[in-house]
Structure 1
Amino acid sequence: MAVTFLGVRHHSPACARLVADTIASVRPAYVLVEGPADMNHRMDELLLGHELPIAVYTSYRDPERRHGSWTPLCDYSPEWTALAAGRDAGAELRFIDLPAWHPALADVRNRYADAEARYDEVTRRLCRAFSVDNVDALWDHLFEIEPADRLDERLATYFDLVRGDTPTGPDDAAREAYMAHWIRAAAADAGDRPVVVVTGGFHRPALIRLAERGGSDWPEVPRPPEGAAVGSYLVPYSFRRLDAFDGYQSGMPSPAYYQRLWESGPAEAARGLAEAVTARLRARRQPVSTADLIAARATADGIALMRGHPHPARVDVLDGLASALVSEAIETPLPWATRGPLQAGSHPVIVEMIAALSGDRVGRLHPSTPLPPLVHAVLAVLGDPGEERLDLGKQAGRERSRLLHRLRVLGIPGVERRSGPRPGGGAELVEQWVLTEAVDRLPALIEAGGYGVDPQEAAAAALAERVTGADLDQLAGILFDAALCGVGELAGRVLDDLARAVGAAADLGALGRTLTVALAMWRHDDLFRTSGSTTLGTVVVAATERALWLAEGVRGGPAPADLARIDAVIAVRDALRHAGPALGLDPALALGVAGRIAACQDAPPDLRGASLGLAWSLRGTTTGDPGGVVSGAAGDGELVRAVRGAFVPATAGDWLAGLFALAREEVLHADGMLELLDELVAALTEDDFLVALPALRQAFGFFPPRERHLIATRLVERRAGGGSGWDLMRLDAAPELVAAGMALDERVEAALRREGLITS
């Protein structure tokens, strides 16, 4: 059979040119391309006349699995030039790979992810042999910059070498067997006419072997399992998403550079690269002089000559620019010496250079391209850009809010909420939104169309996907988002998972955040329509009891106050206050736990203070005092002893932070409590006060400004017999100056004592 196998590197201009030239030369009966076979009946749609880059986005959803993947195409993709040249030559065009939803591609987010990881050892040996940093530089050195003569032979040798005897896994084996079936059938149908096969170079050696044996009937296109939802749509793609420096799995980095290489050749691509970098840096007010450019060009030419390149390659130009434009020491490796996303801490000039090479091109679909129902459903109701203020107390405001929240959950660009209800917040009934134009909105909507046909169905599926593997904090956020989206059918699954997570929770802070969210949803009917939910009530009860159990087991010495731990105790208090009677929560149980923790010297000071505050704040809603911790006003002996015993300089502020967070109002209005605290603070030595000061400032930060003013007024009355609290809160001098003055006073006093001028 007259089959020409072209193994290519995806998104390689050299390979794209070879494919186009080969097809134009042999004029085959069939052009077979690695791509999703279930798109064959839509080949006319693919070739409508889009502005590239574009991609085929495929979504798959069943009760067990959710998967989305892309098959991207740009002007210099060999797969694209195969289709275009094949159409011009009058050939039959076929994609021959398994559909993107197939289990053999379950771990593939991008079909054209090159298989370099599978032959990493070979490519590393080649990089060492040719003295290049990575496979991208190796590829340029061997194929993109070199003349195109005998390119097909050199490519075949390269891919035969890098694959060698590497065993394939079952997924690759399934794909290759399926592609070989298509090749045999096309060759049999073509008879004496030629067939051209364009696939990733990794598959080429196996396909040559497999195509020689087996039947020649046309293969069937696999069908999705019963009950699975599958959709494939064309989406606009962008150079930024195509770029390896942005984490793209496949092909070449710097797509704008390779677009120039495709259009104009290596010499013009090198010149254009330098121009693009210069223009971008100057647009950002980075100084780039003519002398810098001359130095960069000369350095690049010299590096290219040293490396044996007939024209400067991409890395030659980049090395030249970096040498000329970056004068400081670079802490991280140059990004073109490695693969993958830019590392944190990259030099700003280097970042701009990489962005210039990436380019900002965005594809555009032909107006006749079919779009998923979700796109039409959203665009029909989204409205014009601008600010929106929604009144959630009205039905129209709630419906609009739910739509916008569904788009937010789906990650649709240009939909931003500025303010509104938050987990654990009050029943805020106003939301502020800003809608803006976004160039990537259409691709995002098309991809979100894989979740469902309308915003509610799509948001429900997206939230259900987030449930898988979510931790306690994430599940609470999902629960809150589900309520904001009005996605009632999701609640059962989320709440089941949430209840199981609560029962196994080991992080008191995370459990407290979950309890806060569940309690807010249980309480506020006007906003969530979930008030009094039996299931939510079960979660509140379970989380409250679990939080008390976890709190009693916390041990630890002096440490900064753990605000998340304190917030968990606040959530327990609020649950007992607002839901206790309705849900049958036992305040006596909580007071008993609070009493034991408050008296336990092995418990962290912030938790001991919070437990005392919990018992004190619950006193007004209980009959009796089972814990024995709080039995009256601050003057009562047991409470006074508890406060005095906890007031150790190293931990006093942490202990007070817990107390104030839970019983701020009780402390403020209890007879004698502020006076007691003033006495204890005044008794601290200067050194002890400085040790305690940071934590004390954090503790008193729990009082809002009005209450701090009240405290200051009472202290002024106590110390000076009258006056304004503002005088105490507003120093005329900066705190640093006051501290320096006190230090000077101390040195003067020490000197006077040393000289015998002060004896008392």
Structure 2
Amino acid sequence: MPGGHRVSSDVRVFGIRHHGPGSARSVRRALEAFTPDAVLIEGPADADPLIALTAADAMEPPVALLAYATGEPRTAAFWPFAVFSPEWQALSWSAEHGVDVRFCDLPAAHTLAAESAESDRTDPLAQLAAAAGYDDPERWWDAVIESGTGADSFDAITEAMSVLRNATDLDEETRRREAYMRQTLRKAIKGGAQRVAVICGAWHAPALSGPLGPATADARILKGLPKIKTSLTWVPWTHSRLSTASGYGAGITSPGWYHHLFTAGDRTIPRWLTKVARVLRAEDLPVSSAHVIEAVRLADTLAAMRSRPLAGLSEVTEATRAVMCDGNDVLLDLITRRLVVGEALGGVPDDTPTVPLDADLRARAKTLRLKQQATEKTLDLDLRKDIDVTRSRLLHRLQLLGVGWGVPADSEINATGTFRETWSLTWKPELAVAIIEASLWGTTVEAAATAKVRAEASAEDVSLAQLTALLEQALLSNLTDALPELLRALDTAAALDHDVMHLMDALPSLTRTLRYGDVRGTDISSLARVNDSLLVRICAGLGSALSGLDDDSAIEMRRAIDGVHAAVMLRDEDRASKRWLGALAGLVDRSDVNGLVIGRMVRLLRDAGAISETDSATRLSRALSVGATPSAKAGWVDGFLGGGGLLLVHDRELLRLLDTWVSGLGEQDFVDTLPLLRRTFGAFDTGERQAIGQSVQGGNRSEAAAPIDPRRAAVAIRTVADILGVPS
């Protein structure tokens, strides 16, 4: 007689652990022996119309039921299933045998409508594990169930849960769920089912076992429950989202391990450690068959020492660390991420109910050969190829819609210019909700992105910088229908905005838009006029904007000046370059401007060839020799040198001036100045610091300097050499 607590002669309740391979095997065996004509499974009852899809060939766990409030997709919930989930095995068995199967838990329409009350989060398995002497409930379940011999344990688990429930006050949510489960069971019996199997979480099993009691009591509990209109569908899921780290309440710590336990069949431990060896060999680590054999022996020995029937995850992990990773926890973490947790992505049939936007995205991704996968993939695009341009536009449109399937990344290909883009693609299950949220903008990706751009451009509080960023995104997405409205809004905003910093922040995006427009074949010639207008107003207002800057404001101004300068140089248009450099040249002699900004402008003029090397050296010498405090002089140096030390490597006169000034600082002045200088030189590349250190080694000491104490000097020299990265 198979296990399962009897309600009557023809109803049996199988209390399981969600996502437990041992439970999954036991459920399948129990169903084979019991041969019910109706199966009830814990899950939202309003998902019953979707059950038929579980039998489709294209349905591949892990997958999840997604329920969301119709018209308000941010209100959503997931019910995940893996191949080793007992509920999934019950669904599969029912489909294979043509048995009526239904979900019996509270419908999502009620669950999503209920206010988020704090339910009882006490883990009953943790209490049982503690009683058995385990500090980790995962290890306890692994020992008792997952690595066991397959002995039936449903009755024992139900009895244990009954004891725990008697000492626990059930929360209102649990009472409602169990009342609905009992009502569903009554309905199945009344509908003529002769042999009913109920698969539910072990905690709920006692509530469905024994006499069900009068239906009126449960009806009172369920009366007046809030309800909203919901939509449900299946979505792909991942093993990592089954883990407790993902925030899923019924999660597990080792989905990859559990998948192996369910699918490996015999020789579970040797097969697992062979997988470990493959992962380590893929990282070019010397792992041989001897390592695998020794790790298997150690895992079995640890299990015997602990009186366990078979080695579990803890024994296998210890054997992996000791034998195959040589105690290296970094390698062990790699094994945990790749195998113990894993990153398998499921799939759903094409005819799964979905919003039109999702169907359009799937079709376009298939056409462009972009595969949704859970592991990160780097995609290098050559924008001179039609397919890559179309891929780029799709990914940019999805970014506009808040669907972060792809994010821009740094390329490992040595190439310059605007013809190349690199993306990092990772499909995450929660993107299904993002797509549903974005569907309110339109039924296709292009239409939705266009509608969203238009809406954001017409917002009352949209800033000039936001408009320029939006225009750049629209260009990259090739949303030609939205460009006229964006340009009009941009022209108006630029005319009304009198804040020079706002204008400076807006110019780089506009310039990139001008530059990339030619590459992508988009006509945006009208932007040149807006760009020129912004630059004229920036140059006219920059002088006033520089007055009275404190140190924090000066840092922001330097950033803005760098951005405008880079944009002007990128555009490479003679009139614009002359106007900008002329504006900088007219301001560098002012004495009322923060030295950080003046030093930066001198450096930019020198790099652009607008002032000579001799002139820039003279200005540095003047800034370091008169008037201001040492910290103000250090700010000038930071502005002049910030961002790269290559100038000091090649210009020995500048290096001599700087070295002389630092050498002449008094003790307190040096202490006050050191943090600023450290910030400046700390931003240099290691090679630049080494070259500078080698240049100043052996320099002449001032005749007026105090006598050197060789012992103290040796300590100082070693310290400076360590900082600069040169041999002492």
TM range (shorter): 0.5 to 0.7
Residue number in structure 2 paired with 1:517:
469
Residue number in structure 2 paired with 1:457:
443
Pairs within 5 Å for 1:403-422: 403-407=394-398
Residue number in structure 1 paired with 2:304:
305
Look up the SS of the partner of 1:178 in the other structure: helix
Look up the SS of the partner of 2:63 in the other structure: strand
Q: Contact conserved, 1:281 with 1:349, CA < 8 A, in 2? A: no
Pairs within 5 Å for 1:373-392: 373-374=359-360, 377-378=363-364, 381-382=367-368
Structure 2 distance, partners of 1:753, 1:441, is 64
Pairs within 5 Å for 1:161-560: 161=163, 163=165, 166-167=168-169, 171-190=173-192, 193-208=194-209, 211-214=212-215, 230-233=231-234, 235=236, 237-239=237-239, 241-243=241-243, 250-263=250-263, 268-289=267-288, 292-328=291-327, 347-352=330-335, 354-358=337-341, 363=346, 373-374=359-360, 377-378=363-364, 381-382=367-368, 402-407=393-398, 432=420, 450=436, 457=443, 459=445, 487-491=449-453, 493-495=455-457, 499=461, 514=466, 517=469, 529-530=483-484, 535-536=489-490, 545=499
The verdict on how the C-alpha distance between 1:683 and 1:258 changes in structure 2, with shifts beyond 3 A counting, is: same
Residue number in structure 2 paired with 1:683:
625
Residue number in structure 2 paired with 1:83:
91
Letter in 1 for 2:368: L
Structure 2 distance, partners of 1:323, 1:12, is 28
The verdict on how the C-alpha distance between 1:384 and 1:400 changes in structure 2, with shifts beyond 3 A counting, is: closer
Q: CA deviation at 1:451?
A: 5.4
Residue number in structure 2 paired with 1:422:
none
Structure 2 distance, partners of 1:105, 1:381, is 39
Q: CA deviation at 1:537?
A: 5.8
Q: Contact conserved, 1:57 with 1:232, CA < 8 A, in 2? A: yes
Letter in 1 for 2:449: V
Structure 2 distance, partners of 1:252, 1:429, is 47
Structure 1 distance, partners of 2:162, 2:31, is 22
Q: CA deviation at 1:407?
A: 4.7
Letter in 2 for 1:315: S
Residue number in structure 2 paired with 1:594:
545
Q: CA deviation at 1:203?
A: 3.0
Q: CA deviation at 1:532?
A: 6.1
Deviations 1:395-444 (A, max 9, x none): x999886445335657586897989xxxxxxxx996646799x9x87989
Pairs within 5 Å for 1:651-690: 652=595, 654-656=596-598, 659=601, 668=610, 674=616, 677-681=619-623, 683=625
Residue number in structure 1 paired with 2:701:
746
Deviations 1:320-365 (A, max 9, x none): 221223445x6xxxxxxxxxxxxxxx51244225523445755566
Q: Contact conserved, 1:58 with 1:100, CA < 8 A, in 2? A: no
Look up the SS of the partner of 1:4 in the other structure: strand
Normalised by the length of structure 1, the TM-score is: 0.62
Structure 2 distance, partners of 1:752, 1:632, is 44
Residue number in structure 2 paired with 1:553:
none
Q: Alignment partner for residue 141 of structure 2, among 139, 142, 148?
A: 139
Q: Contact conserved, 2:599 with 2:637, CA < 8 A, in 1? A: no
Structure 2 distance, partners of 1:172, 1:522, is 49
Residue number in structure 2 paired with 1:334:
none
Deviations 1:184-203 (A, max 9, x none): 11122236x23111112233
The verdict on how the C-alpha distance between 1:322 and 1:130 changes in structure 2, with shifts beyond 3 A counting, is: farther
Q: Contact conserved, 2:66 with 2:232, CA < 8 A, in 1? A: yes
Structure 1 distance, partners of 2:584, 2:405, is 57
Q: CA deviation at 1:239?
A: 4.3
Letter in 1 for 2:88: W
Q: CA deviation at 1:450?
A: 4.1
Residue number in structure 2 paired with 1:155:
157
Letter in 1 for 2:619: L
Q: Contact conserved, 2:281 with 2:287, CA < 8 A, in 1? A: yes
Residue number in structure 1 paired with 2:668:
none
Structure 1 distance, partners of 2:624, 2:499, is 40
Look up the SS of the partner of 1:746 in the other structure: coil
Q: Contact conserved, 1:58 with 1:70, CA < 8 A, in 2? A: yes
Structure 2 distance, partners of 1:587, 1:414, is 35
Structure 1 distance, partners of 2:606, 2:165, is 70
Residue number in structure 2 paired with 1:627:
none
Look up the SS of the partner of 2:83 in the other structure: coil
Look up the SS of the partner of 1:287 in the other structure: coil
Q: CA deviation at 1:4?
A: 1.8
Q: Alignment partner for residue 118 of structure 1, among 116, 121, 138?
A: 121
Structure 1 distance, partners of 2:695, 2:367, is 61
Q: Alignment partner for residue 40 of structure 2, among 11, 32, 52?
A: 32
Q: CA deviation at 1:314?
A: 1.8
Letter in 1 for 2:214: R
Q: CA deviation at 1:94?
A: 1.0
Aligned residues: 613
Residue number in structure 2 paired with 1:718:
none
The verdict on how the C-alpha distance between 1:534 and 1:15 changes in structure 2, with shifts beyond 3 A counting, is: same
Identity %: 21
Residue number in structure 2 paired with 1:339:
none
Look up the SS of the partner of 2:39 in the other structure: strand
Residue number in structure 2 paired with 1:725:
none
Look up the SS of the partner of 1:308 in the other structure: coil
Letter in 2 for 1:746: R
Structure 2 distance, partners of 1:74, 1:319, is 26
Residue number in structure 1 paired with 2:681:
none
Q: CA deviation at 1:152?
A: 1.0
The verdict on how the C-alpha distance between 1:61 and 1:90 changes in structure 2, with shifts beyond 3 A counting, is: closer
Q: Contact conserved, 2:64 with 2:78, CA < 8 A, in 1? A: yes
Gaps of 5+ in 1: 109-114, 331-345, 420-427, 461-484, 503-511, 549-565, 622-629, 647-651, 716-730, 755-760
Structure 1 distance, partners of 2:75, 2:545, is 48
Q: CA deviation at 1:251?
A: 4.4
Structure 2 distance, partners of 1:533, 1:272, is 62
Letter in 1 for 2:41: V
Residue number in structure 1 paired with 2:521:
none
Look up the SS of the partner of 1:7 in the other structure: strand
Structure 2 distance, partners of 1:261, 1:753, is 72
Please identify, of 359-368 and 167-176, the stretch whose mean Cα deviation from structure 2 is larger: 359-368
Structure 2 distance, partners of 1:642, 1:240, is 58
Q: Are positions 1:13 and 2:4 aligned together?
A: no
Letter in 2 for 1:735: I
Q: CA deviation at 1:41?
A: 3.2
Q: CA deviation at 1:14?
A: 1.9
Letter in 2 for 1:352: I
Residue number in structure 2 paired with 1:509:
none
Q: Contact conserved, 2:264 with 2:271, CA < 8 A, in 1? A: no
Structure 1 distance, partners of 2:308, 2:227, is 50
